[in-house]
Amino acid sequence: MVDMKLFPKDALSVVGVWAQHDYPEWFPDVNIINFLEKGVTNYKQSGKYILGVFDLNLNFAENYKQDGSRIAFTGANPDVDRPRITSVPYYGVLSADGKILYVDAYAFSTARISTSLSTFPWYGPKDTTPWLIRQ
């Protein structure tokens, strides 16, 4: 049995930077993701912010919503039909200690994460739930 702790009544905020710095190739849609207090996210890939399509002076941003330990947000894939950016719908569950964000995609056809059906670990380790660490 796994010792699972209950999520605290006063929910921890997801605001901050979440990443897999030791494995920058893992979960590229959401690694590195910055949840801002304004309810929007910014994204980095290859050490640079993903810039907006219509205004290359602004960081690409998408809205997110937190409800207790649950977070609904989007991943960003700037590599599809450049200069277009594909928004990929994701959801996450925050750990009770607020240090790990477990993520999964609503749409597997466009998500760049590992799944139990993955045949190669291109986007992260096979047979594990993708996770990000609070930085």
pLDDT digits (tens, 9 = 90+) for 54-78: 777 889 999 999 988 899 999 998 8
Residue 1: inside a domain, yes or no?
no
Q: Which of 60, 21, 20 is nearest to 40 (CA)?
A: 60
Whether the bond between 71 and the residue before it is cis, its omega within 30 degrees of 0, is: no
Residue 9: inside a domain, yes or no?
no
CA atoms within 13 A on the CB side of 8: 9
Whether the bond between 83 and the residue before it is cis, its omega within 30 degrees of 0, is: yes
Q: What is the pLDDT of residue 73?
A: 97
Residue 3: inside a domain, yes or no?
no
Residue 22: inside a domain, yes or no?
yes
Tally of domains in the chain? 1
Residue 6: inside a domain, yes or no?
no
For the full predicted model, state whether its pTM sits above 0.75.
yes
Q: What is the pLDDT of residue 53?
A: 78
Residue ranges in the chain modelled with pLDDT below 50: none
Domain span including residue 84: 16-134
Residue 36: inside a domain, yes or no?
yes
Q: What is the pLDDT of residue 84?
A: 80
Residue 2: inside a domain, yes or no?
no
Both tokens of 81, joined, read 């039909």
Q: What is the pLDDT of residue 94?
A: 92
Q: Judge contact between 86 and 76, C-beta under 8 A.
A: yes
Q: What is the pLDDT of residue 111?
A: 85
Burial (Cβ within 10 Å: 0-12, 13-18, ≥19) of residue 115: middle
Residue 10: inside a domain, yes or no?
no
